[in-house]
Amino acid sequence: MATRTVADIMSRPVITAEPAETVAAAAARMEEHHVGSVVVVDSGRPIGILTERDLVRLAASADADVSAVKVTEWMTGDPYTVEPHVEVIDAWATLAEKGYRHIPVVVDATLVGIVTIRDLVRIAQIQPMEHPSQTTAPKGLEGLVVAETAVGDVRGLEGFYHYRQYNAVELAEKRSLEDVWHLLFQGELPTAEQRRDFLQEIRPLQTVPEAVKSMLPVIARSGTRPGPLDALRTALSAAAQALDMPPSLDVDAPRLRMDAMRVCAVVPTLIMALYRLRQGLDPVDPHPDLGYSANYLYMLSGEVPDPVHARAVEQYQISTIDHGFNASTFTARVVTSTGADLGSAVVAALGSLSGPLHGGAPSRALDMLDAIGSPDNAEGWIRHAVQSGGRIMGFGHRVYKTDDPRSVMLRGVAERLGGHNVEFAKQVERTVVDVLAELKPGRNLYANVEFYAGVVMDRCGLPRELFTPTFASSRTIGWCANILEQAADNRIMRPSARYVGPPPPQPVPAAE
């Protein structure tokens, strides 16, 4: 394509003003000719430029008499000019760099035309200018710091993660889920009295709103092959609506915290009600005296669970409450950054967690153990899966390049629980790690949280279709802690993308 110059695209004749004219007269001429500027000329030479921006400044100035003030008092003197032979790309660069919207065109210092930003964007093949502060993020945003948080963090190389200032694994070993929930919402572990108050606050919030109760049977039974979080996503959306959650932008911190408490408390009840309804059973109301995870198992069967099973599920759920800026947490914060209500942010996060690369893996990990069948088949099965381009579910992590501390803890929990699958799972884990080290050298792929999660949940009587919802249930607390933090110090998240399609603007063809 031939190079275009300023001469090809400049506008003429130029709308001008005399130095002695009033701004009012010049503004009237701008309006009459539908232009955004007038060039002030003296014997044909541009000595200044008066733009719409100057008129706005003038209007905002309390002591200026608009009808009497002269253009020379408000114009930008000695304007930057360009010559007609200059290439369009260079003129564009000058406009973008200096922030000008109009440049007079001169030959031998005499005004012959004007080029405006509008003229430039109208022509084809304008190259985009890099904004000086623009940086290109790595694919998948790997390693990019996008916020500050006091909720927690993951140190991938050390195989360590923490909630606030405490080691998360130690919290899972020593504390109840409600204590950790209190830590994330209130910033501190509770005293005995604070714990009592917190449990009392949670209890009434576990009940599903009446308007939603009647919808649950329909939601539970719709779809022949529902995704792991489809029903919960729909039911939670209905519950958030029934609970009248206003945009986070319009509410104070105590009200937003109350919305967060409600969502965190009602999610386990919704999960189990939906599961039982799908099985043709009536939902079981929450048990007033049981802790979070014991009550969770109670609402599945209607029976108070074995405390060993309840504690194993509780340790799993504590270990999955939060985990840095993972995809679903990031989603929740992006939605909150728009000022949307807390329910919308959690529903969006559920959608993000439902993907097999994030939260949809634990049932697939157990399916893999079933498919392998016996220790003798492990190596051949895994080798074939990796060589055919497949991913071994429950292995690999964006941040951990060593053992995932959650998987180490859950392997211990699984060992304590015992059962036929545990030894088999440990053998498969070793084989997968060896095969991946050989076939994917340097990638440092180890078991992640989801590999032993399936084994533990299975052993505690949770059916596979509840694996991802069980993860979602505890992660809701982490999402909400992040939502509260985002709302407290917010700026809308609005990154950019590099356009790589055909160069714009192409002429729009007439409709056939």
The catalytic residues are 397, 450
Cα separation, 217 vs 277, in Å, equals 6
State yes or no: residue 398 binds ligand ACO (CB under 6 A). Answer: yes
Which CB, 269 or 320, lies closer to ligand ACO? Answer: 320
Going by their DSSP bridges, the two strands 102-107 and 110-116 should be labelled as: antiparallel
Cα separation, 90 vs 97, in Å, equals 10
Which CB, 99 or 140, lies closer to ligand ACO? Answer: 140
Which one of 386, 409, 428, 456 is in contact with ligand ACO (CB under 6 A)? 386
CB of 432 to ligand ACO, least distance (A): 8
Site for ligand ACO in 67-106 (CB under 6 A): none
CB of 365 to ligand ACO, least distance (A): 7
Which one of 397, 411, 422, 429 is in contact with ligand ACO (CB under 6 A)? 397
Which CB, 391 or 426, lies closer to ligand ACO? Answer: 391
Which CB, 298 or 471, lies closer to ligand ACO? Answer: 471
Stretch of residues binding ligand ACO (CB under 6 A), selected from 42-50, 202-210, 436-444, 455-463: 436-444
- What's the token pair of residue 181? 């929930």
Cα separation, 450 vs 404, in Å, equals 10
Site for ligand ACO in 118-147 (CB under 6 A): 140
Cα separation, 350 vs 6, in Å, equals 53
State yes or no: residue 159 binds ligand ACO (CB under 6 A). Answer: no
Inter-residue contact 239 to 271 (CB < 8 Å): no
CB of 385 to ligand ACO, least distance (A): 8
Q: By CB neighbour count within 10 A (0-12 exposed, 13-18 middle, 19+ buried), where does 492 fall?
A: exposed
State yes or no: residue 378 binds ligand ACO (CB under 6 A). Answer: no
CB of 168 to ligand ACO, least distance (A): 13
| Contacts within 8 Å (CB) and 24+ apart, 197-206 | 201/261, 202/178, 202/261, 202/265, 203/286, 203/288, 205/261, 205/262, 205/265, 205/266, 206/265, 206/266, 206/268, 206/269, 206/286, 206/295
Which CB, 271 or 433, lies closer to ligand ACO? Answer: 433
State yes or no: residue 358 binds ligand ACO (CB under 6 A). Answer: yes
Size (the chain), residues: 512
Task: Count CB atoms within 10 A of the CB of residue 30.
Answer: 18
Amino acid present at 136: T
Dihedral angle computed from the Cα positions of residues 115, 121, 127 and 128, in that order, rounded to the nearest 10 degrees: 110
Which one of 45, 221, 391, 416 is in contact with ligand ACO (CB under 6 A)? 391
Which CB, 271 or 393, lies closer to ligand ACO? Answer: 393
Cα separation, 153 vs 163, in Å, equals 7
Stretch of residues binding ligand ACO (CB under 6 A), selected from 175-183, 224-232, 257-265, 439-447: 439-447
State yes or no: residue 361 binds ligand ACO (CB under 6 A). Answer: yes
Which CB, 340 or 353, lies closer to ligand ACO? Answer: 353
CB of 462 to ligand ACO, least distance (A): 17
Amino acid present at 268: P
Cα separation, 498 vs 310, in Å, equals 49
Which one of 121, 443, 492, 504 is in contact with ligand ACO (CB under 6 A)? 443
> Which residues form the interface with ligand ACO (CB under 6 A)?
140, 357-359, 361, 386, 391-398, 436, 440, 443, 445, 448-450
